[in-house]
Structure 1
Amino acid sequence: MKKDHYWALGLITVLIVLDQVTKYIVEWAIPFQGAATAKYPIIRGFLYLTHHRNDGAAWGVFSGQMVFFILITVFALGVFAYLAKDMHFRQRFFYSTGLMLLSGGALGNFIDRVRQGFVVDFIDVYIFSYNFPVFNVADIALTIGMFAFAYHMLFLDGKTTTEPTIPSDVLEDVHEENPR
C-alpha cells in the first residue's frame, strides 16, 4: 500500500470518528422533539445547535428514500475507490484531499442511514435571516471535498507537473519533521 493511501485512510477515519462522536453527543445532549426541538445559540441570529433527524437530502429532497440513498452511496464509494488509484497528495493535493473528504463524508452519513434509517444533523445556520438546511460534520466534509475535487478537475487536471502542489516551505517543514 502506498504511503498516500495510509494518509487517506487516516483522514477518512478521523472524519468518520469526528462525525459520529459529534452526532452521538447531540443525540445524548439535545432531546429530539420533532419541530419543537430546542435550538441552542452559539452566535445568536447566525449559528445554533439543534437535533434534526433527516431521512432525505438537504431541504428534505427525496425524504424517506433510504434504499435510494444507500445504493447511491455504495455506488459513489465504489467510484471513489476506483479514483483513489490516481491519488498522490504532493502532486495532486486538491484531487486527493477532495476524494478523501468526499469518502469520509459519504461514509459518515451512510453509517447513520444504515444504523438508524436517518441522518442526524445539528448545525443550524441563518444567513441574512435565511434558515439554511441543518447539517453535520459529514456534510461539511462532502461540501469541501466537492469544491476541492471540482477545483482540481476544472483548473488543474491535464496540467502535467513534477512539482508538488503544496508550497515548498510546507514540504520542507514536513521533511524536517519526518526524515526518511
Structure 2
Amino acid sequence: MMADSVPAGVGRQVFSKYLWFTLFASGVVILDQLTKMLVLRYLPLHNSVAVIPGFFSLTHVRNPGGAFGFLAQNDSPLRHWLFLLAAVFALGMILYLYHQTPRSRPFFGFALALIFGGAIGNLIDRLRFGEVVDFLDVYVGYLHWPTFNMADSAVTVGVIIFLLHLVTKKVPL
C-alpha cells in the first residue's frame, strides 16, 4: 500500500540526491588522502619545496590543533577527544542539513558535500596520527597564511558557498 502512495521516480530521485552527495564527498576524501600520502612519502616532516618562490611552497607540517592551529599548544589528552567529538557532531549536522535540503538547491548540497568530505579527510588523519597533515603553504615574503591541506580547502570553499546561500536567502533554513 505504501508503494502505491509514492509517485514513480521519487525513490530514484532520493537515491540520486544521496549518490551525488556521496560521490562529491568521496572525491574530496580521496583527493585529500592521496595528496597527504604523497607528502608523507616524498616530503620529510618540516621540509619545504618552493613551487612559486615568494608565494607558494609545499611544506610538510603537522597540526595537532584545529583550524589555524586552535589549541595546538594545549597538550591535554582531552584536546584529541574534543576534536573527534566536534567532528562527529559536525558530520551529523551536515547530514541533517543535507537531508533537509531540497533537490532544487543542488549548489547548496554540493557545498555540504565539500564540507563533509573535508571533515572526513581531517578526521581520518586525527584517527591515524592524532593530528592533521598539512602541506599547502601560501605566503608573501614573511607573511604566511597557516599551512593547510586539500580537506581544509574543500571545507573553506563549501563554507563560502554555504554562507553565500544564507546571505542571499537562497536556502530556507
Specify the TM-score bucket, using the shorter chain as the normaliser: 0.7 to 0.9
Q: Give CA deviations for 1:115-139 in whole Å, capped at 9, x if unaligned.
A: 1101000000004641110000000
Q: Which deviates the most, 60-69 or 102-111?
A: 60-69
Letter in 1 for 2:60: H
TM-score (norm: length of structure 1)? 0.80
Provide the identity percentage: 38
Provide runs of 4+ in structure 1 moved above 6 Å.
Answer: none
Matches within 5 A, 1:122-161: 122-127=135-140, 129-157=142-170
Partner of 2:4: none
> Is there any run of 5+ residues in structure 1 with no aligned partner, and where?
160-180
Partner of 1:70: 84
Partner of 1:177: none
Displacement of 1:39 after TM fit? 1.2
1:41 and 2:55 aligned: no
Contact persistence 2:108–2:171 (CA under 8 A)? no
> Is there any run of 5+ residues in structure 2 with no aligned partner, and where?
1-13
1:82 and 2:96 aligned: yes
TM-score (norm: length of structure 2)? 0.83
Structure 1 CA distance, aligned partners of 2:16 and 2:67? 35
Q: Which deviates the most, 50-59 or 116-125?
A: 50-59
Q: Give CA deviations for 1:38-86 in whole Å, capped at 9, x if unaligned.
A: 2101100000001101100233211241111100000000111111113
Structure 2 CA distance, aligned partners of 1:30 and 1:158? 42
Partner of 2:10: none
Q: Secondary structure at the match of 1:41?
A: strand
Work out which of the residue numbers 54, 75, 81 in structure 1 matches 2:63: 54
Residue 98 to residue 127, structure 1, CA distance change in 2 (3 Å): farther
Partner of 1:104: 117
Q: Which deviates the most, 52-61 or 7-16?
A: 52-61
Structure 2 CA distance, aligned partners of 1:127 and 1:137? 20
